[in-house]
Amino acid sequence: MERRLQKAAACVEDSSSAIPEEEEESNPGAGMPYILISTQIRLETGPTNVGDEFSDPAVMNYLGARKTTVLGNNFSEYHVEEPPRLVLDKLEKIGFRVLSMTGVGQTLVWCLHKEAE
């Protein structure tokens, strides 16, 4: 058993060194091809969540989103007061396309993708 654990640990060490380290970007969200937006079913007229703290600031600025942190959360989110339909229209104008949409409990979620330029 101990021998198997040693082999597994060695395998993990070997495979982790094969993963190329990416250069740290000043903005890890810049140029990200995916975006998630969501809203509560009873709030279909807004507000709409349009990103997290790592979202592309250029896209968030284009949407007119403001970054907020809810008391008790250790993360930030971007919100707009507009309904999801208007947000989807704006994102389509800059090249995003809806990949999927689902309902999770009382939340509606859209996943969008933008092709590389």
Q: In sequence order, what DSSP letters do the residues of 27-83 get, joined into one string? A: -TTTT-SEEEEEEEGGGTTS-EEEEETTS-HHHHHHHT-EEE--TT-SS-EEEESS-
- Residue 21, pLDDT above cutoff 70: no
Which pLDDT score is estimated for 73? 87
Q: What is the pLDDT of residues 49-79, one digit of tens each?
A: 999 999 999 999 999 999 999 899 899 999 9
- Residue that wins the pLDDT comparison between 62 and 21: 62
- Residue that wins the pLDDT comparison between 33 and 103: 103
- Residue 2, pLDDT above cutoff 60: no
Which pLDDT score is estimated for 30? 56
Which pLDDT score is estimated for 46? 76
Distance of CA 7 to the CA centre of its chain: 36
Question: What size, in residues, is the chain?
Answer: 117
Per-domain residue ranges of the chain: 34-114
- Residue 6, pLDDT above cutoff 90: no
Distance, in Å, from the CA atom of 91 to the CA atom of 48, rounded to the nearest integer, reads 13
**For residue 46, how many other CB atoms are within 10 A of its CB?**
16
**34-114: CATH, from 3.90.1300.10, 3.20.20.70, 3.30.1410.10, 3.40.50.720:** 3.30.1410.10
